[in-house]
Structure 1
Amino acid sequence: MPVFEKETGALAVTDETVLPVGGIQSKQTPKDSLVGAGDKRAKQSAGDTGAEKPRMVKMVNQDLEEVETRTMTLEDWHNKWRRGKTKFHMSKVHPNLQKFYNRMIQGEGRKRIFVPMCGKTLDMKWLSDKGHGVVGNEVVEMACRQFFEEHDLQYTTERIEGVEGTLFKATDIDLQLFNCDYYKLTSDVIGTFDCIWDRGAMAAANPEDRDKYAAVIVPLLKPTGAYLLDLFELENTVFAGPPHGISDARVDELFASKCNIEELLRADRMGDWQRSWGLDSFKEVVRLLTPKQT
């Protein structure tokens, strides 16, 4: 899922300007905004009161296509991959994973690492090459197959127990992709993890699904685990996303009761691609979450 580079279209930028902690909080504009009443085309039919119909403001997604809602369905994601609209895919390992890798793994030893809504990110092979067991989740089958094919990895497939979907398993390394709906996952299905690397997955989730998103991911983290969470703050009136902005207050609301939250980076990521979306600001915020001990 989405991670955006300023110039190539992939999400992380290496030339970072770190800003003071506590920066701008995101403002979300209602998706159905009204324009002024001067548009004669919005007039009601003859014989009514003469009042004017409100007209919807069109928004654009990251591909600059006009849309009327910020909500994306699973079929929308399938269509993106079928149409090759995957500019969000990074052609390199995410710089923030490399930068904060040691903080995430918390010492030596082999870890079991989860990458939600993974697409075909190179991050998974990079983590595997470091000796870890890697589990990704991706709803689009095409993305799963492309990951294995582009890395020349042999794999098998089988039905996922307890959930509708397919489990892709590398034959020579400990790497698996659960090709299914993220919101169907539980620890009974996928197990628990020492580390979670969320490289824009939560930022791609529909804003109205954030409570559900957190309710799925927190129980997947072991009591001694670490969750590296890469999110965005953005201000706009016409950008439908993803990525979607999320404020400090909302992150606290979702996670602070169960996790300690440490901000590792806050950086300006405004570039030409983001300006084309009509954004006024675009900031990346990386946090490390660890479960509170009870």
Structure 2
Amino acid sequence: MSAMDDFPSEKPGVRKLHQWEKGWQKSKDAGKNPPFHVNGMLSKHLEQLTGGRSGLKFLFPLCGKAVDMKWLADQGHTIVGVEGVEDGVQQFFQEVAIQPTVTDEPSVNGKLYQGMEGRISICICDYFNFTSAVKGQFDAIWDRGAFVAINEVDRERYIQLMKTLLKPDGRCLMEVMNYDPSLFPGPPHNVPEDELKQLVGGDMTLVENLDRTEDMGKWFSLPWIKTAYYLIKATN
């Protein structure tokens, strides 16, 4: 079974929300959704992302069940996640042993899960329905697996939304993938550095570049693959 089989596509490289939901359920049924762990790149570069500040407001786009949210909330930060697949959010709260309150969120035509006295909030909605009118602007964005997951035609729209969601002094730490796209259509999609630079159009710094051929190359049957981490500073 290839890495693509869990996420069947109507068109190579394109994903729709109902397909992601099917993928979550298929992985869950097969026991492929183990508990997540705090991401090493986030902890390593947290000082750069926060600028040494405490009590920040973090956004997690397409957050899934990332335990990083609980880890940051425990440090005194406020977390807002956005996720289209409700099952992943339910798994998150179960795995961190928090009983959430669940309410309708008409502003995004979705639901709102909250825990830790409001320090963790997760909106269940289409990410492109999530604007600064919902939860205001953010000091920091941790983008792991979001930008590489969206359809490539939506990249400019995604970056423009990111710019409106960041405060004037806000920062984003973004993980992207680099590989030969002729060998694998994604997701996760290949993101060339020059394309990302053109879309961001501002202050963007490469903070780390890792060779992931040994592990991820096997998952996606690729001869080489790298993950690059960029620190993006708001230019509003």
Letter matched to residue 212 of structure 1:
R
Letter matched to residue 102 of structure 2:
T
Q: Report whether the alignment pairs 1:284 with 2:223.
A: no
Q: Distance in 1 between matches of 2:7 and 2:119?
A: 39
Alignment partner of 1:235: what SS?
coil
Q: Report whether the alignment pairs 1:134 with 2:79.
A: yes
Contact residue 89 and residue 119 of structure 1 kept, 8 A: no
Quick check: 116-125 or 268-277, which moved more? Answer: 268-277
The TM-score normalised by the length of structure 2 is 0.91
Q: Distance in 2 between matches of 1:66 and 1:141?
A: 19
Q: Report whether the alignment pairs 1:219 with 2:164.
A: yes
Q: Report whether the alignment pairs 1:77 with 2:77.
A: no
Letter matched to residue 243 of structure 1:
P
2:91 corresponds to which residue? 146
- In the TM superposition, residue 239 of structure 1 has moved relative to its aligned partner by 1.9
User: Gaps (5+ residues) in structure 2?
Assistant: none
Which of these residues, 102, 105, 108, is aligned with residue 53 of structure 2? 108
Q: Distance in 2 between matches of 1:160 and 1:69?
A: 33
Contact residue 7 and residue 22 of structure 2 kept, 8 A: no
Kindly name which structure, 1 or 2, has the bigger radius of gyration based on alpha carbons.
1
Quick check: 203-212 or 97-106, which moved more? Answer: 203-212
Q: Distance in 2 between matches of 1:66 and 1:139?
A: 17
The one-character-per-residue Cα deviations of 1:44-71 (angstroms, maximum 9, x if unpaired) are xxxxxxxxxxxxxxxx644477755110
Letter matched to residue 233 of structure 1:
N
Q: Distance in 2 between matches of 1:178 and 1:148?
A: 13
CA 1:276–1:175 in structure 2 vs 1: closer, same or farther (change >3 Å)?
Answer: closer
Q: Distance in 2 between matches of 1:271 and 1:248?
A: 22
Runs of 4+ in 1 over 3 A off after TM superposition: 60-68, 85-90
- In the TM superposition, residue 225 of structure 1 has moved relative to its aligned partner by 0.9
Structure 1 segment 169-208 matched on structure 2, within 5 A: 169-172=114-117, 174-208=119-153
Which of these residues, 104, 123, 126, is aligned with residue 159 of structure 1? 104
Letter matched to residue 191 of structure 1:
G
The number of equivalent residue pairs is 232
Q: Distance in 1 between matches of 2:6 and 2:226?
A: 20
Contact residue 6 and residue 27 of structure 2 kept, 8 A: no
User: Gaps (5+ residues) in structure 1?
Assistant: 1-59
Contact residue 3 and residue 219 of structure 2 kept, 8 A: no
Q: Report whether the alignment pairs 1:267 with 2:194.
A: no
1 or 2, which has the higher helix percentage? Answer: 2
Contact residue 61 and residue 241 of structure 1 kept, 8 A: no
Which of these residues, 231, 234, 255, is aligned with residue 200 of structure 2? 255
Quick check: 161-170 or 113-122, which moved more? Answer: 161-170
Q: Distance in 2 between matches of 1:236 and 1:70?
A: 10
Which of these residues, 58, 62, 70, is aligned with residue 117 of structure 1? 62
CA 1:276–1:91 in structure 2 vs 1: closer, same or farther (change >3 Å)?
Answer: closer
- In the TM superposition, residue 206 of structure 1 has moved relative to its aligned partner by 1.2
Over the aligned positions, Cα root-mean-square deviation in angstroms equals: 2.1
The TM-score normalised by the length of structure 1 is 0.73
